[in-house]
Amino acid sequence: MNHGRKTLMLLAVLGACGFAPWSASAQPGDAEPATRAVNDSFLKTLPFGDRADFEDAKRGFVATLPDGVIPGPGGKPAWDTKPYGFLQRDEVPATVNPSLWRQAQLNAINGLFKVTDRVYQVRGLDLANLTIIEGDSGLILIDPLLSNETARAALDLYLSNRPARPVLAVIYSHSHADHFGGGKGVMSEADAASGKIKVIAPDGFMEHAVAENVIAGNAMGRRAQYQFGSALPVGERAQIDTGLGKALAKGTISLIPPNDLIKQSYETRTIDGVEIEFHLVPGSEAPSEMIMYVPQFKLLNMAEDATHNMHNLYTIRGAEIRDGRLWSKYIGEAIERYGKKTDVVIAQHHWPMWGNERIVAFLKKQRDLYKYIHDQTVRLLNEGLTPTEIAEQLQLPPSLANEWSARGYYGTLSHNAKAVYQFYLGWYDANPADLNPLPRVEEAKKQVEYMGGADAVLKRAREDFKAGQYRWVASVMSKVVFADPSNKEARDLGADALEQLGYQSEAATWRNAYLLGAQELRNGVPKAPASGASADLLKGVSIDLAFDFLGVRLNAPKAEGKHIVVNWTFTDLNQTYVMNLENSALTHTSGTLSDNADASVTLTRAALDAITLKQRTFSDSVAAGDVSIRGNPLKLRELFGMLDDFRADFEIVEPKKARAE
């Protein structure tokens, strides 16, 4: 029973990507002339003379880690700034989009910074920021990063440069792991459980902190490698940034539940003498999120709703579509409520901004960015354009396109427009020819056959590559690879095309995806390292959600004609469930037991977690007295024998291979 590891695969993959770099025979190539021309055009069209962001990012610098390394589990660093030293050069490599190079340089600025009186941030030592507010006698921390190791190091950096004070409160701005995963690095579970440390979060935090990654967690985890480039080496021909920050920490993820939830649209708390007004913004960047205003310091914290890039309405790792209209509305509400009385705005990524006039102008641009994407996409879809056509046609107006904070380093105008289309109309473009196309492999074989065979396609594609038509070459080589994955020439040419697209990409997420695709076409998919669930995160998975995930793992053909009923009693939770396998579907109901069960299992939640974490088998748990089974235990074994174990290294840029288990 291995659902815990799988349900939390996305979170586990953040710290478990130890893939091998390129082999000597498959080194990345240089930028082609067409790529150099594309990148040069960015230098000519964007306001690179504007250095205000660099001044803001460096303002208030106090100190940083002497060697830039934070130790992690297993003797490997949880964080290491040294590989990014090449970003200190002023000259932009031809293999990096100059706009992305600028963002990567900004995100490389790291350390402890004073934001305003009694407010500090640690930036650049994880994907997100740790914000520290000095109360009358202790510290209020906002978002303890992704891992315990980086959160502890960030707090230690602050304490080594400021008077020592105890942590009295920890605030989670929203339900994404890079904003809560380091909780145990800054507080103990006992202090949170007793209320000694106030742990504040938006309503729905615990549900969404784990639920987003549960049902489709394995696929999200694999796709996250493409988005964040975590399986790539670092370098000017490889990973340089993620758009939101440098990279994902490779430490230990924890989850300490909140003991104080913000449930109303606006609520105020006074914490250690500091008044904070919370504004719930659910369904914006996260399903559970809130922004904060601190009147004493005239400070507005926009969490992740207004950062120094275009964010994702759709994240390419895979997640629910976000509502750009609602996102824009929340920013507009913040402007109305706080705009005139804000002297500094911060977020939980990137750097602050000072000065009321600048802040209001920045927030208005962020507000209008998401509303523009939403409204203009909907206008065009109502005129009958398809997602691809909208993405090709839509352009930002100059007032937004020339704004650094609206550039697509993380989200892009292209995939965000497609997200709006999907939000309203789904995947189908209404052309019946696209309603039921052939599967990818069969379609690819027919297309290559119609084009005259692989040799003919390769001959023409090489000419198109020389002409700089990399999007087409990447697409058509993908067809050849899916028709015949052993065709090395197609794999190599497809990798070369993806590589050039990566070098041209302004979005760090697109660059990472293109370059990892190229790496896997050249070298295949490395075997993913084993990764286990975090015990802290597993505690947040409800029994209902855990049983739902078992249903997702059910291999329907194996279950054909089977009917099995299992009772579950959790003695510590005083909860009962009936699990029913019938019609090749695994369902469950709570609050009852069946009189006709094939087997009845009695256990505690802790026993279930131990089995899930592979600390014990079912048999060991029964022998130890932690689990008792009445009825026919063979039926239970039969049921769990029908469950698939998902692989974290499934193919993406080539057909899925049949693998021996």
Segment 581-599, tens digit of pLDDT: 999 999 999 999 999 999 9
Class of 542-640 in CATH: alpha beta
Residue 480: the pLDDT is: 98
* Confidence at 615, pLDDT banded by 50, 70, 90: confident
**268, β-bridge pairs:** 277
User: Residue ranges of the alpha helices (H) in 229-266?
Assistant: none
Query: In whole angstroms, what separates CA 421 from the centre of its chain?
Result: 21
What per-residue confidence (pLDDT) applies to 1? 35
pLDDT tens track for 500-546? 999 999 999 999 999 999 999 999 998 775 455 667 777 778 899 88
pLDDT in tens, 441-480: 999 999 999 999 999 999 999 999 999 999 999 999 999 9
Per residue in 11-51, pLDDT tens? 333 333 333 344 444 789 999 999 999 999 999 999 999 99
pLDDT at 533: 61
Q: Which of 508, 504, 511, 501 is nearest to 478 (CA)?
A: 501
Is it the case that residue 304 has pLDDT exceeding 80?
yes
93 DSSP 8-state letter: P
Position 72 confidence tier, pLDDT thresholds 50, 70, 90 = very high
The half-sphere exposure of 259 on its side-chain side, counting CA atoms within 13 A, is 15
Please report which confidence band the pLDDT of residue 210 belongs to, taking 50, 70 and 90 as the band edges.
confident
d(CA 579, CA 22): 47
**Over residues 140-145, mean pLDDT:** 98
Mind giving me the DSSP string for 480-504? HHHH-TT-HHHHHHHHHHHHHHHHH
3-class SS of residue 299: strand
Delimit the CATH 3.30.1050.10 region(s) of the chain.
542-640
Q: How large a percentage of the chain has pLDDT more than 90? A: 86
CATH of domain 3-16+51-416: 3.60.15.30
Structure token pair of residue 622: 């029964």
How confident is the model at residue 182, as a pLDDT?
A: 97
pTM value > 0.85: yes
For residues 528 and 648, the answer to whether their CB atoms sit within 8 Å is yes
Cα separation, 265 vs 131, in Å, equals 22
Q: Rounded to whole angstroms, how far apart are CA atoms 179 and 173?
A: 7
- How far is residue 326 from each of residues 136, 287, 331, 426, 621, measured CA to CA in Å? 37, 12, 9, 19, 49
Cα of first residue to Cα of last residue in the chain, in angstroms, is 16
Unique residue bearing structure tokens 């509400």: 333
Residue 487: CB atoms within 10 A of its CB come to: 19
pLDDT for residue 215: 83
pLDDT at 494 over 90: yes
pLDDT for res 647:
87
What is the average pLDDT score of the chain?
93
- Write out the two tokens for 4: 């815990």
What's the pLDDT at 659? 62
d(CA 453, CA 461) in angstroms, rounded, equals: 12
- Cα(105)–Cα(94) distance, rounded to whole angstroms? 16
Residue 552's nearest CA partner among 479, 460, 645, 629 is 645
Give the integer Cα–Cα distance in Å for 269 and 265: 13
Residue 56 is encoded by which pair of tokens? 């803001």
Where do you find CATH 3.60.15.30 in the chain?
A: 3-16+51-416
Q: How confident is the model over 143-157, as a mean pLDDT?
A: 98
